[in-house]
Amino acid sequence: MKSKHKLFHGKTLAILTGGGDTPALNSSIESIRNRASFLGYKVYGIRHGWKGLLGDGDVLDLSHQPYDGFYGGTALRSSRTNPFPSKKKPENRVPQILRNLERYKIDVLVSIGGDDTNGAAKRLYETEGIPVIGFPKTIDNDLRTRTMHNYNGKEIEAVLCPGYPSAVKGIMEFTGRIQTTAESHSRIIVLEIMGRDAGWLTGGAVFGGSELALVPEFEMTKERKEFFLETVKERYMSSPKKSLVIAVSEGVRWYDEEKGKTDVVYASSEVDEYGHPRFGGISGIIASDIYNKLHIEARAQSTAYFARSGECRLYDRRLTTTLADKVVDLLLREEYGQMPVMSKMVKYQELEEFNCSSIDMGDIGNRPLSEEYYNIDEFKFTDAFEDFLAHILGKPHFLKFDYDFPIVIPRD
């Protein structure tokens, strides 16, 4: 029910963060907290995601505390707790959530998360009438934010989620650094990059100088794998320093000769409360296939949590504050079940607020890389993707030292 005169009512808003951490979470919390406080809300933080609303609750008062939004991770902590029954936890814990919302007198809930966390929030809104507002976050960048990217007059559906800009910058930097080791040892380095079922994050390696990439969106069938290995050989042999960095998404489906089928590689058989397994290990398999078939020295290297950790980068700082402004809008209008998003990629910060909208929190998950962004025939991200990335990262960043010393020939 809509209440009159919501402004400066002194009601209570609670923020929670769920799922994997990102460098932009504290920035999101701080931006939302500051704006909600201006509106007169008392602001609480729920610890460990949905878990903080189970049992006796684990709730902090964020109202008047100093906060460093540039510091990565989440001061509220996070978990992959699912309040709804799942295979792993069949118990329905929604009554505990409702009881705690009542006990702590929480009027509005802002859930900062990906598809799982926001999906649960949306369900609470639909089934229990809890006023919720979603706030996007993911390093995988796989939420359907419907952010349009104009490239050479063509509108491409892109994604822009807080967390991704910082993480993709980390991937660019990591890739840029590893080049010197690949060059020094005349090696191929197969770099494994998080991202689950989407290749958005792997794309950051392009601006770090990686020339070939594999993404989960395209299955590496027997034929494709053979062609890929030929391409690897050709690229390596023609590279000036006999080195190559290949970026591979953790969720790549790779043909396994022994099994006679393509499959993803799991780090463990365990699944979380939302039913997701953990990927990990594909780079080792690809590196040994390269060595065994091409006889070129190849090493696997995982970027693991490197992209997810560390400080919030400037682009994310801007993005989170712009989206938090939109949260104010939703609060004032009492429009719940919505999530603020950027509706367009824009070059200038001043234009962001005019290109911000909100979408329904439901049905936002698993947006793969747009087909315009990757070319499977060349195992490469396209120019359109580089243009998308340039909006976020500016220019590519990798070391390049083109030495050309003359060879000494002994006089016999």
So which residues are the catalytic ones?
140
Minimal distance, residue 136 CB to ligand F6P, in Å? 13
**Which residue from 97, 132, 194, 212 is in contact with ligand F6P, where contact means CB under 6 A?**
194
**Which residue from 195, 199, 204, 208 is in contact with ligand F6P, where contact means CB under 6 A?**
195
Q: Do residues 393 and 169 lie in contact, with contact meaning Cβ atoms separated by under 8 Å?
A: yes
Phi, psi of 30 (to 5 degrees): -60, -45
Minimal distance, residue 142 CB to ligand F6P, in Å? 8
Of the listed pieces 30-38, 132-140, 208-216, 285-293, which binds ligand F6P according to CB under 6 A? 132-140
Does 170 contact ligand F6P by CB under 6 A?
no
Does 73 contact ligand F6P by CB under 6 A?
no
* Interface size with ligand F6P, residues (CB under 6 A): 11
The rounded distance, in Å, linking the Cα atoms of 336 and 133 is 5
The rounded distance, in Å, linking the Cα atoms of 190 and 202 is 12
Burial classification of residue 285, based on how many CB atoms lie within 10 Å of its CB (0-12 exposed, 13-18 middle, 19 or more buried): middle
The total number of residues written for the chain in this structure: 412
CB atoms under 10 Å from CB of 232, counted, come to 24
Instruction: Restricting to residues 312-351, name those near ligand F6P by CB under 6 A.
Output: none
**Which residue from 279, 315, 336, 381 is in contact with ligand F6P, where contact means CB under 6 A?**
279
Of the listed pieces 62-70, 188-196, 281-289, 398-406, which binds ligand F6P according to CB under 6 A? 188-196
Binding marks (x or -) toward ligand F6P, 4..23, rule CB under 6 A? ----------------x---
Q: Please choose, from the candidates 387, 363, 357, the residue with its C-alpha nearest in 3D space to the C-alpha of residue 123.
A: 363
**Which residue from 308, 313, 317, 326 is in contact with ligand F6P, where contact means CB under 6 A?**
308
**Which residue from 140, 183, 273, 289 is in contact with ligand F6P, where contact means CB under 6 A?**
140
Indicate the residue among 139 and 319 with the shorter CB distance to ligand F6P.
Answer: 139
Q: Put residue 144 in one of left, alpha, beta given phi > 0 → left and psi -120 to 50 → alpha.
A: beta
Q: Partners of 338 in the beta sheet?
A: 133, 360
Indicate the residue among 183 and 250 with the shorter CB distance to ligand F6P.
Answer: 250
Binding marks (x or -) toward ligand F6P, 83..122, rule CB under 6 A? ----------------------------------------
Q: Put residue 376 in one of left, alpha, beta given phi > 0 → left and psi -120 to 50 → alpha.
A: alpha
The rounded distance, in Å, linking the Cα atoms of 121 and 130 is 8
**DSSP character for 142?**
-
CA 96 to chain centre: 30
Indicate the residue among 279 and 315 with the shorter CB distance to ligand F6P.
Answer: 279
Q: Put residue 165 in one of left, alpha, beta given phi > 0 → left and psi -120 to 50 → alpha.
A: alpha
Which chain residues interact with ligand F6P by CB under 6 A? 20, 138-140, 194-196, 250, 278-279, 308
